[in-house]
Structure 1
Amino acid sequence: MKILFVASEGLPFSKTGGLADVMEALPRSLVALGHRVAVLLPRYRNTNAVAVAAPSLTIAFGNTLRFPAIIDGGSLRRVRYYFVEDPEYFDREQLYGVAGKDYPDNAERFAEFCRAAIEFSKNVWKPDVIHCHDWQSALVPVLLRTQYANDVAAQRVPVIFTIHNMGYHGLFPREVLKKIGAPETLFRVGAMEFFGKVNFLKGALNFSDYLTTVSRKYAEEIQTAEYGHGLDGVVRDRADRLVGILNGVDYAAWSPAKDKLIAAKYSPKDLSGKLACKKNLLEVFGLPPEAVNRPLIGIVSRFADQKGFDLIAEVAPDLLTEDVAIVALGAGEPKYEKMFHELAELYPEKMSVKVAYDNTLAHKVEAGADMFLMPSRYEPCGLNQIYSLKYGTVPVVRATGGLDDTIEPFDPGTGRGTGFKFQAYDGAALLGAIRQALDVYRNGAAWRRVQANGMAKDFSWRASAIEYARLYEVAWKSRNRKDAVTSN
C-alpha cells in the first residue's frame, strides 16, 4: 500500500517529544514490510534536509489565498520525505511556541499545513491511506470529509488518526473557523464545538475512519472521565473504531550489546559490563564510589505532575532513609527541579540530579541504574520502561497506560514477571512497590531472574507495524466497498 504520514514533527528533522521518534521508526518499519511510505512535515527553521522545490500549492483561507510550497526532501532509508514550506508560519525559533507559551497563530499555521496535506495527497503523492498524528494534523480528516465531500477520489482514501496524548486538544476561539476558511457548520457538538471553543482534536475524533492510540490500556483509559480530558464521551461513541497499538522501540539505538554511549557493553549472558556502567554513572553524577554497593534508582523524565513527581516529592524523605542511591535526569516544573536540588544537598551521599535533557546521559542512566522509576499519573505509552527492560534495569511503575501493558509484576514464587507495579495513585503505594523491589534486589538469584525476564522481551517496531498494516487494509476496504458511505 501507499501510506502517507502527516505530522508536525519527525526525526531526524524536528523533535520536541516522542511523536518525532514514532515518525522515524514506524514508516521505516512499514517500508521493511513492503509498503511505500511518505512523510509530510512542516519545514521549520532548523530542518536540515537536502530539498528540491516543487510548485506552490494554492490554499484558500476564507477570502485570502496562501501559497505554501511543497519541498521534496528525497528518501532516507527508503522513506520519502516532503515538507510544507511557508516562512511566515514555520521559519521560527521553536516549533509550537516560546517561553512556555504557544504561538498565537498556531490554529492558522497548522490549518494551512493540513490543507496543504490534502492538496498534496490529491495532486502530488496519491496515497491509499493517510495516517495523521495529534491535533496539529487533525483538520485533515475534518476538511477531507466536509469541504472535499464531493471529491469522489478523495472519499476513497481512509484517514487513520493516532492520539499520542489526550491532554493536547488544539483549542481555539470560535472565530478561528472563519480565519481558516472552515465552514461554520463545524461549530456543533457532533463536530468541533467544545464548551464554546473550537477543538481540533475533537474534530479528528469525529471525522477519522479509525482512531488509534499508543497502548491498549490507554485506549481503555481515554474512554473514562479520569483520562479523557473532557472528550471521553466522544471516544466512547467511536469505541468500535478505536484500536490500541503499542509503540515499538528502536533496538539499534537502545541495546546494551550495541550501545556506544555507555561505559561497557553487556548482554543477558554476560552482565559484567553493567557493573562498569554503574560505577561510571556514579562518577558522572558525583556520587561516592562506595554507593556501588547500594541499589541505584534511576529517573529520566520531564519533571511534571503527569509523570508522578508529586508522589516522588511525598515519599523522597522516607525513601532516602533506606540504603539506596538515586540519580535523576530531566527538566520541567521549577518546583520539582528545586526539590531535587534540595534533596541532593540534604543527602549528598545518596542523591544527585542533573537538570537537563542529555541523550548520552539518558543512555548512561538506563545502563548503570539497578531500577528505573516511572510513577506516572497517566502514561499513554512510555518508552523508558521498555528501554529499561532491555538494559536489565528493573522498572518500578504505576499500572497505567503503556506502563501497565509492558510491565508484568514479578512473582518471586514462580520467577515470572519483569518489574514492580502499584495501582493506587498515592505515595504509600509507590513506596510499597519500591520496597518490594529492594527486597528482591537483596536476593541475588531472584534479581538476576527478573533482569533476565526483562532482557528477553521484544518490543521492536516490526510487530506494531504489522498491526498498523492490518488496520490500513481494513480501513481501505471499508472506504472502498461498493456500498461505502463517502463522507461523514
Structure 2
Amino acid sequence: MRILFVASEGLPFSKTGGLADVLAGLPKALVALGHEVAVVLPRSRGAVEAARVTPRVVVPSLTVGPSDRPRFPAVLGDMVVDGVQYFLLDDPGYFDRESLYGDAAGDYPDNAERYAELSRAAIEIAKHVWLPDVIHCHDWQAALVPVLLRTVYADDPVLAAVRCVLTVHNLGYHGQFPAATLARVGLPESLFHMDRLEFFGDINYLKGGLVYADYLTTVSRRYAREIQTPEVGHGLDGVLATRADRLVGILNGADYAEWNPADDPRIAAAFSAEDLAGKRACRRDLLSEFALPDTAGPVLGMVSRLVDHKGFDLVTEALDALVGLGLTIVLLGSGEARYEIALREFAALHPKRCGVRIGYDEKLAHKIIAGSDMFLMPSHEEPSGLTQLYSLRYGTVPIVRATGGLHDSIEPHDPPRSVGTGFTFTDYTTDAMISCVRRARAAYDDRSRWRQLQLAGMGKDFSWPGSARRYVEVYAAAQVLAADQLVPPPDSGSAHV
C-alpha cells in the first residue's frame, strides 16, 4: 500500500511530545514491511537543519485556503529518511515560529487557519504529487483531512478511492474554535451541525475528524474503551460511542534503536538481561549527576511533563511519604509553575534525597531511565505512554496507575500467581499511589524477586513491527469500504466552496 501520513510534528524534523516519536517509528516500520510511506509536516523553524537533509522544491506555489484569502506555500520534498519520503509545507508566515503551537501568552490565535492549511495542503499533495491508497492523519491539527475529503473534495475523481484513518493520541486536545472560523478557513456552513463539527456553540476540528474518518484508531486498547466514557471522553464520548465499530486501539511501539541499554551511547555503562553489572554503574553516574549520595535504598526516577493529567497533584502531596520509605527521588521535567516551584522547594529541603532538573534533556532522560531502580508514572490519563516501555527494557521497574496504555503494557507483580513486570494501582488517590510504592519498596529488598521482575520486563518486546502490522489491518479494512459506508451522516453530501 501507499500510505501518506499527515501530522503537525515528527522526528527527525520537529518534536514537542510523543506524537513526534510515533511519526518516526511507525512509518519506518511500515516501510520495513514492504509498504510505500510518505509524511507531510509543516516546515517549522529549524526543521531541515535538525534532520540534516537537503530539500528540493517540488511545488513552488501551492494554492490553498478560501478563495477570498488564498495562500501560496511551497512544498519541499526529495527527502528520504529511513526509506520514508518527507514533504514539508513551507509557509514561513504560519510555521516559522519560535515554537510549534503557542508562546508564553498561550496558543497562537491563528492556529485554526494554520492547521486548516496543513490539511488542505496534504490533500493537494496527495492529488498532485504523491497519490496514496490511505491518508493517515494524527490529532486535531490534521483532523480536517477527512472532513475536506468527504465535503469539499467529495466529487474529485482523483481522490475517489483514497481512504482516511485518524489517530487520536490524546483526546484532551480538540482544536475548538468559534463558529465564525468555518467561514475564515473556507469550510461550508453546513458543517455547523451537531452531527458534524458543532460543539457547544463552537466548532471542533477533532470532532469533525471523528465523524468523517473511515476508521479511527487510538494508542491503546484500554484508552479506546476509556474515551467512550464521560470520565475520559472530554465531551466526545457520545461521538466515539457511535463509531465504536470503526474504533481500534493499538499500543504505540518503542524504538529500540534509540532505547537499548546494550548500546546506548548516552549512559555510563552498557548492560543487558544477560549481564546487569553495568546498571549499577549507571545508577552511580545518575546520582553523581544530581550530587546525591549512593545509599542502600532504591532510586525512584521520573521523566515527565509536570501537569495534572500526569499525576503531579498526587506526586507533590506524596513527596514526604516517598522519602520516608527510604527512596531517593530524581526527576526531570517542566510544566505548570506550581509544580515546578513545589518540586524545587522540596529538593532544596532534602538535598541528599531528591534531585530535580526543570526542563528537558534527552541525554539526562536516558541516564534517569538507565540508572533508576524504579520509575513512577501515576497518570490520571495516559493514552499510550512510552517511558514505561523504555523503563522495562532498561530493567527499571515501572510503578504505574492502571489507565490507558499503562494498563495494557504493565503486568502487575502478584506473587505467587505472577511475577509480572511492574506495580499498578487503580484508584486515583495519593494513598493508593503511596501504597503501591510501598509494595515495590518491599519487593526491592528481596534481591532475588527484584531481579526476576527486572528480567521479566527486559524480556518484553514492544517494538514497532507488531504495532505496524495492526495498522496495516486497519488500512486494509478501510480500503474495502464501499462508497455508501464512507460518511456516517448520510445527508452531508458534497459542498464546494
Q: Are 2:13 and 1:10 equivalent residues in the alignment?
A: no
Superposed counterparts of 1:268-347, under 5 Å: 268-289=273-294, 291=295, 293-347=296-350
The C-alpha deviation readout for 1:393-422, integer Å capped at 9, x for no partner, is: 000000000000000001231452000000
Residue 352 (structure 2) pairs with residue 349 (structure 1):
yes
Amino acid at match of 2:34: G
Structure 1 pair 78–479 and aligned structure 2 pair: CA distance change class (3 A) = farther
Contact 1:263/1:276 (CA < 8 Å) preserved in 2? Answer: yes
Q: Secondary structure at the match of 2:321?
A: helix
TM-score by length of 2: 0.95
Aligned to 1:442: 445
Cα deviation code 1:284-307 (max 9, x no counterpart): 011013x2x111100111111111
State whether residues 415 and 450 of structure 1, in contact with CA within 8 Å, keep that contact through their aligned partners in structure 2. no
Say if 2:421 and 2:456, in contact at 8 Å, map to a contact too: yes
Please identify, of 408-417 and 420-429, the stretch whose mean Cα deviation from structure 2 is larger.
Answer: 408-417
Q: 1:54 aligns with which of 44, 54, 58?
A: 58
Alignment partner of 2:257 out of 249, 252, 255: 252
AA aligned to 2:165 is I
SS at structure 2 position matched to 1:38 = strand
Residue aligning to 1:23: 23
Q: Would the aligned equivalents of 1:393 and 1:451 in 2 still touch at CA under 8 Å?
A: yes
Q: Aligned-pair distance for 1:344? A: 1.4
Distance, in Å, in 2 between the alignment partners of 1:424 and 1:299 is 20
Query: Larger RCO: Structure 1 or Structure 2 (Cα < 8 Å, ≥ 6 residues apart)?
Result: 2
> Judging changes above 3 Å, is the alpha-carbon distance between structure 1 residues 234 and 298 closer, same or farther for their aligned structure 2 residues?
same
How many residues are treated as equivalent by the alignment?
484
Superposed counterparts of 1:448-459, under 5 Å:
448-459=451-462
Q: Kindly report the root-mean-square deviation, in angstroms, between the aligned alpha carbons of the 2 structures.
A: 1.3
**2:90 is equivalent to residue 78 of structure 1:** no
Unpaired segments of 5 or more residues in structure 1? none
**Distance (Å, rounded) in 1 between the aligned partners of 2:39 and 2:353:** 46
Q: Matched residues in 1 for 2:162 and 2:313: separation?
A: 45
Q: Which letter maps to 1:50?
A: T
SS at 1:61 equivalent: coil
Relative distance call for 1:485 and 1:265 in structure 2 (3 A) is closer
Where in structure 2 are there 5+ consecutive unaligned residues? 490-497
SS state of the match for residue 79, structure 2?
A: strand
User: Structure 1 residue 478: deviation in Å?
Assistant: 1.2
Q: Is structure 2 residue 253 aligned with structure 1 residue 224?
A: no
The letter for the 1-side match of 2:229 is T
Deviations 1:42-74, CA, capped at 9 Å, x for gaps: 111211141111232222414222212111142
2:3·2:35 contact (CA, 8 Å) conserved in 1? yes
> Which stretch has the larger CA shift, 157-166 or 314-323?
314-323
| Structure 1 residue 466, shift from structure 2 partner | 0.5
Q: Which amino acid aligns with 2:355?
A: S
Task: Map 1:180-219; keep pairs closer than 5 Å.
Answer: 180-219=185-224
Which AA in structure 2 matches 1:10? G
Counterparts of 1:205 and 1:50 in 2: how far apart (Å)? 36
Amino acid in the other structure paired with 1:224: T
Residue type matched to 2:24 in 1? E
State TM-score, norm by structure 1.
0.97
Please say if residues 214 and 487 of structure 2, whose CA atoms lie closer than 8 Å, have aligned partners that are also in contact. Answer: no
Structure 1 partner of 2:428: 425
1:124 alignment partner in structure 2: 129
Is the CA contact 1:285–1:352 (under 8 Å) kept in the aligned structure 2? yes
Instruction: After TM superposition, give the deviation of residue 153 of structure 1 in Å.
Output: 3.5
Identical-pair percentage: 56
Q: Is the deviation greater in 352-361 or in 317-326? A: 317-326
Q: Which amino acid aligns with 2:204?
A: N
